[in-house]
Amino acid sequence: MNYNLFMQEIVETARNEARQAGFEELKTPEEVDGALKKEGTTLVLVNSVCGCAGGIARPAAAYALNNSEKKPDFAVTVFAGQDKEATEQARSYFTGYAPSSPSFALLKDGEIKTMIERHDIEGFEPQEVFEKLQQALNEYC
């Protein structure tokens, strides 16, 4: 088994799940700045290949985008460990929060309003994370 091919498949699956849920993928620092400086609310998924990303965060994110009454104006994703510069640039907007993946950040007019960090995701059920996302969306969207 070729490790790099194996990882490529896992990464591509994770990317596809985020895109199919409705997240725009940002791969460069310039794309991040263009997206996060927009007026309105932006939900950022910091994606990763860990089990809690695939089993909890991405399913909760997909459900939130499709079933929440209030929705962000924009939904974007960066991929920790893959698109390192884009992820670093996105994290520069998350003032007061340590790097965390997977995680969700909710920004309004380019300013961080709240974050759902890995410790808010790992060990929880997707429905519980969806409820945390829904609460944030209800408060800021």
The residues annotated with a catalytic role in the active site are: 50, 52
H-type alpha helices, 1-141: 3-21, 29-36, 51-52, 58-67, 84-91, 126-140
Sheet holding 103-108, edge to edge: 24-25, 74-79, 41-47, 103-108, 111-116
Tokens of 94: 């998350």
| Residue written as token pair 């060990």 | 123
